[in-house]
Amino acid sequence: MGKRYFCDYCDRSFQDNLHNRKKHLNGVQHLRAKRVWYDLFRDAAAILQEEQTKKPCRKFLQTGQCDFGSNCRFSHMTEQDLEKLSAQVQGEQRSRELRQEGADVPPGTIEDWLEKRAQRLSTAQSN
Asked if pLDDT for residue 91 goes beyond 90, the answer is no
Residue 55 and residue 13: Cα distance in Å, rounded?
A: 38
Q: Are 99 and 105 in contact (CB under 8 A)?
A: yes
**What pLDDT was estimated at residue 101?**
80
Looking at residue 17, its pLDDT comes to 93
pLDDT-based confidence at 126, cuts 50/70/90? confident
Nearest to 86 by CA among 34, 26, 45, 37: 45
69 vs 18, 65, 66, 75, CA distance in Å? 32, 8, 5, 10
DSSP helix, strand, coil percent of the chain (3-state; round to 5): 60, 10, 30
Give this prediction's pTM: 0.58
pLDDT tens by residue, 101-125: 876 656 677 778 888 888 888 888 8
Cα 126 to Cα 15, 69, 74, distances in angstroms: 31, 9, 16
Write the pLDDT tens digit of every residue in 19-58: 999 999 999 999 989 988 888 888 888 889 999 999 999 9
